[in-house]
Structure 1
Amino acid sequence: MRIKSLVSATLLAVALATAPTAAIAAEKTAFKLGWSIYVGWMPWGWADDTGIVKKWADKYGITIEVTQFNDYVESINQFTASDYDAVTLTNMDALSIPSAGGVDTSVVVINDYSNGNDMVIAKNAKDVAGLKGEKINLVELSVSEYLLVRALETAGLTSRDVTVVNTSDADMVAAAATPDVSTVVTWNPLASEIVAAGNGTAIFDSSKIPGEIMDLTVAKTEVLADNPAFGKALAGIWYETMGVMTAETPEGAAARAAMGASSGTDQKGFESQLSATNLFATPQAGLDFVNSADLSAKMDAVRQFLFAKGLFGAGAASADIVGIALANGDTLGDPANVKLRFDPVFMQAAADGKL
């Protein structure tokens, strides 16, 4: 499962300082992609197993090594500080780890956004307003804490109105079953397991903040600039895989069953998670989202949260410290320090049939 905890830019800077100096990006033929288990990223493993990755790599005369990481944060650290060329991660983590750490990062495809997979689950509170004064268990400095902050805002509350108890995702289901835990914030499949066990009711979920919790496949900007074939291959792999797995055909059902098994559930469980995921199954769907007028507002909410939590480092004077280039040409933050780019070039190539 995806562990969504964030690593501060300060800690990352230490890691980068002690890591071997990465080679300057240049034309090459061998590439590495890291991914971790989550409903929106399972297609990468399945595509590798079934030969779709090799098919598109062969088309461009390259090789793509696809590696599954059991530790989500480690996959991002490998992308940031080593020779990994691409990785799967959330928009929050893209901004707070590689981008804040100085690695210029570009979105190749937007895989999905959480549309109910992340939940605030309460035993006592009937609505968000009822959370005032409650202790809330979640993975601190994570997408779960971001969801909680956004939920509290809807009731005129802030983080100061609750007490956050940092709880590992590995302990969340067990914690929710204890009588002294009244509220948890977590993600699927943990959230569904907690609700199914009768240990609370979802009173807020990510469908209330559509598009803010994004799941992405990104690559180093310099690598893409020198090797556009790599970006084209990644887009080709993603959209061909989407065409198979979303089809109501025996092949589609088999693909979903295989992805479910690989993620520790079955076809029914995987499809339940898909129902709470806004999957960008076509290039046009991805383009519509990345070109939408409100992407700026969504990313602004995320960067303000990261700044408030100190995840841009102690020396950050404002959320503007890292620049975010949007598809419409606008920039959030420092235009002289753009480190996260929503560049639609590869999704557009897929939409135009030019892969």
Structure 2
Amino acid sequence: MHQGDPRDGAVTGLQAGDAVDLGRGTALLGCGGGGQVDHMVHALRVALGADTVPVVPLDGPAHSVIAVGLVGSTTVLEEKTPSGRELPDALAAVERWTGRRADAVVAAQIGGVTGPAAALTAHAAGLPLVDADLVGRATPRIDQLSLFVDPLPTVTAAAVTSSGLRIVVDAPDPRDLETVWREAVSHSGGWAAFAIGPVDAELLAGRAVDGSVTRAVRTGRAAGRARDVEHLAAVSGGRLVARGRVLDVQRGGDAVSFVHGSMAIRDAGTGAVVRVEAGSEWVHCLVDGEPVASTPSCIVVVDARSLRPVSTDRARVGDELAVVVLPGAPWWWAEPHRTDRVAPRAFGIDADPVPEPGQRPARGGVR
């Protein structure tokens, strides 16, 4: 069982027995993207054995933190799985280039495969994992990480592709990282591991989503106990939008979100038509044409019977699915320019962000 702080239940360590709960939670927070977690969860369980990865609070003892993640095609990642060295090698490359050692690791995003991959990287490097991330869910682009919403003097980052190519970039703009890495990845194996930093803990504290590891473990554990989709929504702190058969699925390409598509479900109880728009993740949801949820909230589509998350590329006409909305990270709602970075228009969808129940967006955050 995971170790918890008796004061608030925060996770302070991950053991092998926590890997499944962590993976189940990060799969849900992947919001239909972020890659399949099963291989990484298995690797984490095997690597940990009887060990524990310490999990430290965002305002804890770490002074220099490196963010780690994966970029590229999640489909290729499933077919060409990591060797286990790519992320530690990327972390080591940043340390060599900057001459600074990290004393903790943070997940670039908690959603999808990166969540357990960050824990695996921390274990391999002998470092603690920070109970935070830079999104609170999954997102497709480097410039959408919370670290980059406000300018940084310089970004130092390293990528290690699945074919072994190593790239270190010093960039004044995160979009430069996006350009260089996407180009390299497209010609060198289809995906890459990356590390960004080291970031001073004081800076990270104001630019990260707090409590992400704890949330993933709690969400995964609650989902594991869920009896049906109604119970899943209740125990995960979300709301059930629809359950029914898929009527229509459309997919295409998009220069902003890399893919663009939509799925329509007829709710079995009300007869309403629910349409969920997708980029690399599920990003916008309408019921009979009225918006009911959007990024930065977590729109999750699950199989109505198994309760397993369904990715945007695997929904099919005739499937019986359910749409559940989980709260997004409050960090994104605090300032208009933060909200805009991950709102529907950031994914090529011409729609305003939909505030969560009881959530008022910052003034100017909804146009």
Fold equivalence (TM over 0.5): no
Larger fraction in helix: 1
Pick 1 or 2: higher relative contact order, CA cutoff 8 A, min separation 6: 1
Q: TM-score range by the shorter chain?
A: under 0.3
State TM-score, norm by structure 1.
0.27
Larger fraction in strand: 2
State TM-score, norm by structure 2.
0.26
